[in-house]
């Protein structure tokens, strides 16, 4: 059981470069999420997708875009990376919005120089 998978695990970018973080889940979940984790700040929601075909902004969406490609996949794109986007990024999924347990991927550690 793969659960939630993320690629890549590590990435180094130069300021201004773009990249896409990939996420896929095999649990037939409706809802998917992107978080960033920074020291002393816990997890902050970037974007979420309640169901296939919908996406909405979370707490810290600036500088990011997302695509819910199908029910399984939810990608996060940085169009022009900035050092402030250096972080660990986690994808998660849940059966639906609300109080359902969220399942997390292993994370992508991104450094922007």
Partner 1 sequence: GNSVTQMEGPVTLSEEAFLTINCTYTATGYPSLFWYVQYPGEGLQLLLKATKADDKGSNKGFEATYRKETTSFHLEKGSVQVSDSAVYFCALSVGTGNQFYFGTGTSLTVIP
Q: In this complex, which beta carbon is closest to partner 1, that of residue 5 or of residue 17?
A: 5
Question: d(Cα 72, Cα 62) in Å, to the nearest integer?
Answer: 24
Please report, as ranges, the residues that interact with partner 1 according to CB under 8 A. 4, 33, 40-43, 45, 48, 50, 56, 58-59, 90, 92, 97-99, 101-107
Q: Which is nearer to partner 1, 19 or 45 (CB)?
A: 45
Q: In angstroms, what is the minimal distance from the CB of 61 to partner 1?
A: 12
Alpha-carbon span 21 to 25, nearest angstrom: 14
Query: Which contacts qualify for 54-60: CB closer than 8 Å, 24 or more apart?
Result: 58/33, 58/34, 60/36
Asked if 34 and 25 count as a contact pair (C-beta separation under 8 A), the reply is: no
CB of 93 to partner 1, least distance (A): 11
DSSP-assigned letter for residue 41: T
Nearer of residues 75 and 102 to partner 1, judged by Cβ:
102
Q: How far is the CB of 66 from partner 1 (least distance, A)?
A: 14
What separation, in Å, do the N-terminal and C-terminal C-alpha atoms of the chain show? 36
Nearer to partner 1, 17 or 88 (CB): 88
């Amino acid at each position: 059981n793969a659960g939630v998978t993320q690629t890549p695990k590590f990435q180094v970018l130069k300021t201004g470069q773009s990249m896409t973080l990939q996420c896929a889940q095999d649990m037939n979940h409706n809802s998917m999420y992107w978080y960033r984790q920074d020291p002393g700040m816990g997890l902050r929601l970037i974007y979420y997708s309640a169901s296939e075909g919908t996406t909405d902004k979370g707490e810290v969406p600036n500088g990011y875009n997302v695509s819910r490609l199908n029910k399984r996949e939810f990608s996060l794109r940085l169009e022009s990376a900035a050092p402030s986007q250096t972080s660990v990024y986690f994808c998660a999924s849940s059966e639906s919005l609300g109080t359902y347990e969220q399942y997390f991927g292993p994370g992508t550690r991104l450094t922007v120089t």
